Amino acid sequence: MSGLFLYCRPGFEPECAAEIQEKSSQAGLVGYIKAKADSGYVVFVTTTPEEAAQLHQLLSFSELIFARQWFVILAMRNDLPVDDRISGLLDAMQALPEPAGLLYLETPDTNAGKELSVLCRRLEQPLRKALVDSGRLTEPADAGLCIHICFLSTHAAYIGYASSQNSAVWPMGIPRLKFPGQAPSRSTLKLEEALLYFLSDRQREKMLQSGMTAVDLGASPGGWTWQLVRRNIRVIAVDNGAMAESVMATGLVEHRRVDGFKFRPEHKVDWLVCDVVEQPIRIAELMASWLVSDWCNHAIFNLKLPMKKRYPEVKRCLALIEQKLSEAGIDYILRARQLYHDREEVTVFITRQVYQRNR
């Protein structure tokens, strides 16, 4: 089998499949989908291994919304001998284009997948040694290619590789973030992941400086606001609901009990963040109006998705924003992603392009 393996949030296989089919068609390559509901992954089957490798090079992983991680499939083995899996895995990697620098043993993000995590941990060290001895894995690590092995059962796995420069930095695309006990709500992890995913270390240092200003629309109880004030950013928290005392005690938050759709800032701010439960097209219109009005430099916000036609709705919202910014003559960079801590939503990041020159 040849193609691409894409991890996604369980339940979003149709959106992940539709997106990779659309992107591959735009790249001039055809294939078909193999997917199972709530499996946590999608397989895009190509005619030849060369086409799979070409697609991995042509498409930018950062432009995919619903894929958490991906890799080029070298083989699918469903008959790995339980007493000697390593030999079968080594045999499947004969077509590896060059020695890899990293090895990931993974599973889909499902309950069944998590039951295989012990197997992955047990296999990792002996497999790593065998790969180094065979010249397929460098030591010390040289992060050019990454070997990915996704176990579906004790005897079945997809084996492949990805460029470390064109894939997620986290195994399976899942960041291991710890909920900070001081934060008012678990939603704080959404913004933390967004800042880690969308911004490089250098960008975070430049764009999240102490003394900057922000507006948080729909701020209550303060999960997103907390991520900003812990970086010493002053926040106008806009919400008719109450803010957590721990957030207000920082002295960096001004609470405005106003409808977020009606609030207008007295002065331009550095950041606009928004996690309001509302029709996604209304949020898209609101975010576009802030940027067109030059009320902020950067924005991170969530689009809550409908039960049906989720991918078309995301595209409609992003197209509206892009049209309004282009008509206003604004140079911008827009990226969208269904983050690990997102549920029925996607997170969007927009910045004026001048801030992205030194990545």
Q: Are 341 and 302 in contact (CB under 8 A)?
A: no
Residues present in the chain in total: 359
The CB density around residue 117, as the number of other CB atoms within 10 Å, is 13
HSE, side-chain direction, 13 A CA sphere, residue 180: 18
Q: What does R_g of the chain's alpha carbons equal in angstroms? A: 22
The one catalytic residue in 304, 308, 309, 315 is 304
> What is the signed CA dihedral for 17, 18, 19, 21, rounded to 10 degrees?
80
Active site annotation includes 304: yes
Which phi-psi region, left, alpha or beta, contains residue 33 (left: φ > 0; alpha: ψ -120 to 50)? beta
Q: Are 348 and 196 in contact (CB under 8 A)?
A: no
SS3 category, 111: helix
The CB density around residue 200, as the number of other CB atoms within 10 Å, is 13
Q: Which of 289, 330, 335 is nearest to 314 (CA)?
A: 335
Catalytic site positions: 304
